[in-house]
Amino acid sequence: MRSLPPYSPDLNPIENLFATLNALLRKAAPRTVDALWTDIGRLLDCFTSDECLRYFASSGHVKT
Residue 11: strand, helix, or coil: helix
pTM: 0.73
For the segment 22-57, what is each residue's pLDDT rounded down to a tens digit?
999 999 999 999 999 999 999 999 999 999 888 888
For the chain, domain boundaries: 31-64
DSSP H stretches of helix in 1-64: 13-28, 33-46, 49-58
Distance in angstroms (rounded) separating the CA atoms of residues 26 and 20:
10
Of 61 and 26, the structure prediction assigns the larger pLDDT to: 26
Distance in angstroms (rounded) separating the CA atoms of residues 3 and 25:
37
Per-residue pLDDT, 2? 72
